[in-house]
Structure 1
Amino acid sequence: MTMSHRHLNPRSGLVIDTHELGRRVGAMKEIQRIAEAPDGIGTDVIGVPTGSSVEFELRLESVVEGVLVTGAAEVTLTGQCGRCLEPISFDEEIDLQELYLYPDKEPDDEEASRLEDDLLDLEPLLRDTVVLDLPYTPLCRPDCAGLCPDCGANLNADPDHAHDDRIDPRWAGLSGWAADPDDEDEAAMARNKE
């Protein structure tokens, strides 16, 4: 997870002050808080609405390299069903874990998260974890029947939905040439005379 290079606002619900932990290895702090979701968490099909509540239950532990954050966040996901295009909304709990390095520690990875003036930013962690946890094709229910490929009707609302047999467009011009019953009788009588 990459720490953002913007100045962190300690009043933001997504920024946590770790000053109380100090650098005492083994020091621990548990946090429960509700924050507003930032914009842009998700895809065009499903995501976390901007400004919606995100409930955090976190444990912060001071370790040699920095502060280890573990816990969970509960978010509301909204979007469209990938089969029937109906609106969907459901709560999702995601597990969080990230090590935030002290500024003076050399990271093994360039993209390691870092503390900034004893502050840590949960936004990149939340964003990355939620996006990786999103369903590829969100569904309103596991057995969603989707839409009729011919007319677009919602097959969940009308499971008995049906159409007449499709006529091959190459033969559609001949569909009006159905045999007239009188012509068939005349043809049969002509065959009998022979």
Structure 2
Amino acid sequence: MREHTFDAPAPQKWGEGLVSVAEGEPLAIDVRLESVHEGILATGEVDTEYAGVCSRCLTDIAAGLKVEFQELFAYPGEDEADFEVQDDHVDLETLVREAVVLSLPFQPVCQPDCPGLDPVTGERLTENAGSQQSEPLDPRWAALQDFTMTNDDKSPRSRG
């Protein structure tokens, strides 16, 4: 068994969604390599940072990402395997990239309760929290603003 800790820059941009790990972003990798009967078992953790935009309000965000991985690198000639030992070496780049990209959030948010953008003005709702809309979003629904539901009989009542 051998344990290694090293830092390496991301060789290219990892991720194609709203957030990604930029090219050259430092990757802190801790890995333990164990010789097993079928090949070499690589177990480790990678620590890096991703950046992009919030999926609700489109503000810039950046956050740390810590991902654990474990994969068996099979000896050549064994069963078909996704990863193989090449000349007594293992190439961790593909394994680390796949682990990082699969751990990136699909719909990242700047804060868990981000309200997003106002559909009429396009302003961020967190900045515009004090103002209430006086008009309905769709004029076809304007007549329904005069009615409300009461809790006691569940029938619509006019406000006027």
Q: TM-score, normalised on structure 2? A: 0.80
Counterpart of 2:131 (choices 146, 154, 161) is 161
- CA gap of 1:115–1:152, structure 2 versus 1, over 3 A, is same
- Could you tell me which residue of structure 2 aligns to residue 29 of structure 1? 2
Counterpart of 1:122 (choices 82, 92, 96) is 92
Name the amino acid aligned to 2:52: G
Q: Kindly indicate whether residue 151 of structure 2 is the aligned counterpart of residue 151 of structure 1.
A: no
Q: Kindly indicate whether residue 17 of structure 2 is the aligned counterpart of residue 47 of structure 1.
A: no
Q: Kindly indicate whether residue 56 of structure 2 is the aligned counterpart of residue 86 of structure 1.
A: no
- Could you tell me which residue of structure 2 aligns to residue 100 of structure 1? 73
Structure 2 contact 120–137 (Cα < 8 Å) conserved:
no
Separation (CA, whole Å) in 1 of partners of 2:62 and 2:69: 22
- Could you tell me which residue of structure 2 aligns to residue 141 of structure 1? 111
Gaps of 5+ in 1: 1-27, 171-194
Per-residue Cα deviation, 1:73-106 (whole angstroms, up to 9, x for no partner): 00111111000000110111000101111224x1
Return the offset for 1:120: 1.3
Return the offset for 1:111: 4.5
Q: Kindly indicate whether residue 65 of structure 2 is the aligned counterpart of residue 71 of structure 1.
A: no
Return the offset for 1:138: 0.3
- CA gap of 1:167–1:34, structure 2 versus 1, over 3 A, is closer
- CA gap of 1:139–1:120, structure 2 versus 1, over 3 A, is same
Separation (CA, whole Å) in 1 of partners of 2:131 and 2:93: 46
Separation (CA, whole Å) in 2 of partners of 1:81 and 1:167: 24
Structure 2 contact 73–81 (Cα < 8 Å) conserved:
no
Structure with the largest fraction of helix: 1
Separation (CA, whole Å) in 1 of partners of 2:25 and 2:45: 16
Comparing 87-96 and 116-125, the one that deviates more: 116-125
Q: TM-score, normalised on structure 1? A: 0.67
Comparing 151-160 and 79-88, the one that deviates more: 151-160
- Could you tell me which residue of structure 2 aligns to residue 59 of structure 1? 32
Structure 1 contact 155–161 (Cα < 8 Å) conserved:
no
- CA gap of 1:169–1:113, structure 2 versus 1, over 3 A, is same
Separation (CA, whole Å) in 2 of partners of 1:102 and 1:168: 65
Return the offset for 1:168: 5.1
- Could you tell me which residue of structure 2 aligns to residue 192 of structure 1? none
Higher relative contact order (CA 8 A, sep 6+): 1
